[in-house]
Structure 1
Amino acid sequence: MQASAIIKLTLSMAIFGSIGFFTIHTGVPAIELVFIRCICATLFLGFLWLMTGGHKTEVWDKKEIARTLLCGVFIVLNWVFLFKAFEEMSISIAISIYNLAPIFVLVLGALFLKEKMTVQALIATLTCFIGSIFIIGLHNFITLSEFMQSGFIWALLSALFYALTMLTSRTITNLSSYALTFIQTAVGIVMLLPFVDFSLFEGLTTTNWLYILGTGFIHTGFVYFLFFDSIRNLSTMLVSVLVFVDPVVAILLDMLLLDFMPSIMQTVGIVFIFGGIFYTIYIPKQAKKEV
């Protein structure tokens, strides 16, 4: 059972690691892409939900539904900001900043949930902050306008809303994974519909549509199915480590297929960020075991 779950989670993270590569070949901006993605995922996961009979055994709670709707808003904004970051900067840099989310979870937990901020968490936060400075290269931006157009703010916002998604989803315990995701993606359809420019879909090639549908059915529908079907059979520690497959694949694809080559400072920044995240996840747990 665990071996199967490990394979499913690893596969889901490896597939998701290619989303940046797919995104830049869709030919549509972030809002339009997320809108189609939400439609595809809602259809795919809704179909699985009905086929498995899960809709007949759902336990509906008004407070949980409200939190799920809020979580849906957060996850849609997370996707929009991540895709906007892909439009402005390399996939490797955007993904590295995006993966600051666990650090934001620590900070937000300390600020709003009164969770204790340990020395280890402070060290990790500072390390990741320094890494983000290195990776974006603040010395390269003469004006605030140049900095704002670099994509850094979009990537940072995507990480922030990913963290808010994780924090909110912690409070949802009764809804099944299918119901949870179905509601979230349905929220995305309603939320983005007023902002979609449908004229942008005119003139797209067959290749564009294949990449668009790929981000919807594969990177959202299929990946969510694998992800939620696996994490319930794995420890938090194992899940935390396996999610690193996502950024590793993203960075490798960026370098191999898109000819991205980070500078020395950016490489140091990437190492700092992932070092800080790994330290957050792994070292404190090891310390607890030794006590």
Structure 2
Amino acid sequence: MNKPALLQLLLAMAIFGSIGFFSRHAGLPALELVFARCLCAIALLSAAWVLSGSFGRERWSAKETLLIAACGVTNVLNWIFLFKSFELISVTIAISLYHLAPVLVLLAGSFLFRDRLKTGSVVALAGCFAGTLLLMGADGFRASAPDWRGMLYAVAAAFFYAATMLLGRSVRRTSVYATTLIQMMIGALALLPFVRFASYSGLDPSQWRFAVLTGVIHTGFVYLLFFRSIRHLPSAAVSLLVFVDPAVAILLDVGVTGFRPDPLQTAGILLLFGSLIGALARPLLRKERRGGTGVPLEGDRP
């Protein structure tokens, strides 16, 4: 196990887990926060791309560039819906539903790439579905439920997160710097006509700090750490460490903001993440015992 890479990934996931906390203190609507995040990330990633030397070694492909552009669109929609869900429901519930994305990838892979689902995967998927129902609660499917829209936004974010991962599976030649930078630029351009710039004028210095940190740290810095580390780690380690992200998010939500999930929601969180770990970790561990590395492809983290 590459210990520096392991520590980098652990740090990246721990930082990313605080994004819900930062977004709530930025004082910006979801769309304007995502636009600011894109601009900050473009500045940092452009510098990293040039300084790393990857700029001069790129092998461009028209097909891959179109795929990366599509990833940029799905990625920015993923962020918008995630931040919208943070506005309406607790970070704990939003981030739990958001992590349905790997389940959606497994299901889509069984249809699009003919990946066969084994019995254990089917049981794990059923567990994820049951956990989701418990998270939504008895009123989750009624339009009159106060948290209904927030939950719907979180599930929509998971859908676009999964779409980004699936599209990213085919990006192989372009460097991670160029891939992520293009995604940020596409996101900024797509949002530009809809941004209400007046939203930025009312921010106080503290809110500006949270907004800028969300772009520089949670996007640029975390992306660099994540993509640099996963190339040197087995897939089982990566699949398990990504759950540091929701663990930190839930701990911050409970410890700092004071959210208290009810017993049904607590059972749903445990069932959802337990099933996810079972669905993702067991097949990868079996693969690595047979000698495969299975390191995730670029673009696997939105």
The AA in structure 2 aligned to 1:88 is L
Find runs of 4+ consecutive structure 1 residues off by over 6 angstroms: none
Residue in 2 that maps onto 1:2: 2
Change in Cα spacing, 1:2 to 1:212, as seen in structure 2 (3 Å) is same
- Give, in whole Å, the separation in 1 of the partners of 2:141 and 2:181: 45
- Gap change, CA 1:285 and 1:12, over 3 Å in 2: closer
Query: C-alpha deviations, 1:28-67, integer Å up to 9, x for none?
Result: 1111000010000011001110111211000001111011
Partner of 1:51: 51
CA contact 1:120–1:284 (8 Å) conserved in 2:
no
> Secondary structure of the equivalent of 2:160?
helix
Where do residues 30-49 of structure 1 align in structure 2 (5 Å cutoff)?
Answer: 30-49=30-49
The answer to whether residue 82 in structure 2 is matched with residue 101 in structure 1 is: no
Residue of structure 1 equivalent to 2:298: none
Distance 2:141 2:190 in 1: 36
Q: Which residue of 2 aligns with 1:214?
A: 213
Q: Is the 8 A contact 2:84 2:150 kept in 1?
A: yes
Q: Which sits farther off after the overlay, 142-151 or 220-229? A: 142-151
Query: How far has the Cα of 1:150 moved from its partner?
Result: 3.8
- Give, in whole Å, the separation in 1 of the partners of 2:192 and 2:38: 11
**Aligned positions, number:** 289
Match of 1:151 in 2: 150
Q: Secondary structure at the match of 2:152?
A: helix
- C-alpha separation between the residues in 2 aligned to 1:144 and 1:92? 21
1:150-182, CA deviations, whole angstroms, 9 ceiling, x for partnerless residues?
411110011111111111111000011100000
SS in 2 for 1:117: coil
* 1:78-227 pair list within 5 angstroms: 78-137=78-137, 139-140=138-139, 143-146=142-145, 149-227=148-226
Deviation at 1:284, TM superposition (A): 3.0
The letter of the residue matching 1:80 is: I
Q: 1:142 to 1:97 in 2, by over 3 A?
A: closer
**Alpha-carbon distance in 2 for matches of 1:53, 1:142:** 51
1:3-25: CA deviations, max 9, x gaps?
11001000000000000000011
- Could you give the per-residue CA deviations for residues 223-268 of structure 1, whole angstroms, max 9, x where no partner exists? 1111111111111111101111101100000011000111100000
For residues 249 and 272 of structure 2, what CA distance do their matches in structure 1 show? 15
TM-score normalised over the length of structure 2: 0.92
* Amino acid aligned to 1:37: R
Query: Partner of 1:278 in structure 2?
Result: 277
Return 5+ residue gaps in structure 2 as ranges. 291-302
Alpha-carbon distance in 2 for matches of 1:105, 1:6: 24
- Give the unaligned 5+ runs of structure 1: none
SS at match of 1:60: coil
**SS across alignment from 1:173:** coil
Q: Secondary structure at the match of 1:214?
A: helix
Structure-2 separation of matches of 1:23 and 1:156: 18
C-alpha change, 1:209 and 1:111, in structure 2 (3 Å) is: same
Paired residues of 2:131 and 2:268 also in contact (CA < 8 A): yes
